[in-house]
Amino acid sequence: MGLKLREKAASFFFEYDTPRMVLVKNKKVGLIFRLIQLVVLGYIIGWVFLYEKGYQSQDGIISSVSVKLKGLTVTNISGIGPHIWDVADYVFPSQGDSSFVVMTNVIITRGQKQDICPELPDAGQCNNDSDCIQGKYGRQGQGIMTGKCIDFNSNNKTCEIFGWCPVEEDNQIPEPSLSYSTLWINHSYPAGSAELRDVPNPSQSLPGTTAKVLLLSGPPLLLEAENFTLFIKNSITFPTFKVSRRNLVEDITTSYLKKCTYHKNKDPFCPVFELGYIVKESGQNFSALALKGGVVGITIDWDCDLDWPVTYCKPVYQFHGLYNDDNNVSPGFNFRYAKYYRDNGTDYRTLYKVFGIRFDILVNGKAGKFDIIPTMTTIGSGIGIFGVASIVCDLLLLHFLPRRDYYKQRKFKYAEMRTPVSGLH
């Protein structure tokens, strides 16, 4: 055992192997060798150098986006009359951020004040007072429970709450064919000049209250938003190369900007977009999306080769539907906001549940420029990959071809250096 270990240690420390060049005249192996070299060469030139631009150093992008919308529409709501909607009414937020919402549908609950009233059956149904824990708030509720179980209508009993009353009833989304907005007016509170149609109060919740339904003479959806225009201003910089660009490229002038509209084939650099075209290109239907809301992504891609003049560095716009209406769980996109006012010392509010299309603008980009260091690194890596051809051919010669034993004898040379015996010449 000790002798074997000594032999292995001696062979490890005192033996040296060196490559031996053997010229093999075999047409098949020679052809395979050259084909592998050709594939490797095509990979290095075609993919690494031309497509991936392995001769360039890369830089990321720093970006800023601002938007501006234009468009007007009018609705004629019974009791309110004709109402003009402009950008101050239907765009949220109004500062022109890269993520914004365009309102396309709305449920309006007017005349709310802080009072006690019954909760909706879906959120606070009860049988007796013990089901309504005083001071608690239901997950779907709209106020703090007072501890009483009262009649919501002739068929249902719900927990009494302290909150903004009457509560919002949003289970009926306005449809294009017949839509309304429910308005509760307390008879002790003057309704002003609005003429509203009285309907029976389904909740019978507050003494002296009447449900007011605002019937629409036309669709409640702001379908005209399909023709509204969106102006996107995008500024970018590549800090390493100290190159800055805007999506208002050299060909865009003030007069051109006033009349152009983006089209991916006819006018791909115009920064003014119709909302309907954006939604269509994202693979969605505007009318269907406007009913309950949704999300659309706008991507601006800057892929710049700075070995060419900087004027060739231009944006590419793409649109993506981020809303899947196949899922019935929490469909659409909506949020609420309120407008407050005071009358006779009492604070009131008008609550708006807004359904809209949210637009998210995302900017991606990279720039490349020739650099000797990545060029040499890529060339060195390519030379190393050429060794794959030799490895494959050696495997064929030494393990698969019929004359493999013969090739092994020619490939490997065993030599032993002997120490001369003293006294012999």
What whole-number distance in Å separates Cα of residue 312 and Cα of residue 304?
8
pLDDT at 204 over 50: no
3-class SS of residue 55: coil
pLDDT score, position 423: 54
Say what angle helices 387-395 and 372-385 make with each other, to 10 degrees: 10
Mean pLDDT, rounded, for 306-323? 93
What whole-number distance in Å separates Cα of residue 186 and Cα of residue 207?
8
pLDDT at 172 over 90: no
Residues 6+ apart with CB under 8 A from 191: 111, 185, 212
Neighbours of 415 (CB within 10 A): 8
Give the CA angle between residues 91, 97, 101 to the nearest 5°.
30
What whole-number distance in Å separates Cα of residue 30 and Cα of residue 303?
42
- Residue of 93, 73, 99, 71 whose CA lies nearest to 229: 71
pLDDT score, position 421: 58
421 vs 393, residue with greater confidence: 393
- In terms of average pLDDT, the best of 81-85, 137-141, 173-177, 401-405 is 137-141
Q: What is the pTM of this model?
A: 0.74
pLDDT score, position 61: 94
pLDDT at 407 over 60: yes
What whole-number distance in Å separates Cα of residue 41 and Cα of residue 388?
12
pLDDT score, position 194: 34
Which position has the token pair 């152009």? Answer: 260
b (16+ CB within 10 A) / e for 283-292: ebebeebbbb
- Residue of 110, 112, 113, 104 whose CA lies nearest to 80: 110
DSSP track, 125-139: B-SSGGGS-TT-B-T
Q: Quick one: what percent of the chain has pLDDT higher than 90? A: 48
| pLDDT-wise least confident of 24-38, 239-253, 320-334, 355-369 | 320-334
**Tens-digit pLDDT profile for residues 206-265:** 444 433 434 333 444 688 899 999 999 999 999 999 999 999 998 899 999 999 999 999
Query: Mean pLDDT for the chain?
Result: 82
Q: Quick one: what percent of the chain has pLDDT higher than 70? A: 82
**Tens-digit pLDDT profile for residues 190-201:** 333 333 334 344
Alpha helices of 77-134 — where are they, by DSSP H?
87-90, 121-124
pLDDT score, position 60: 93
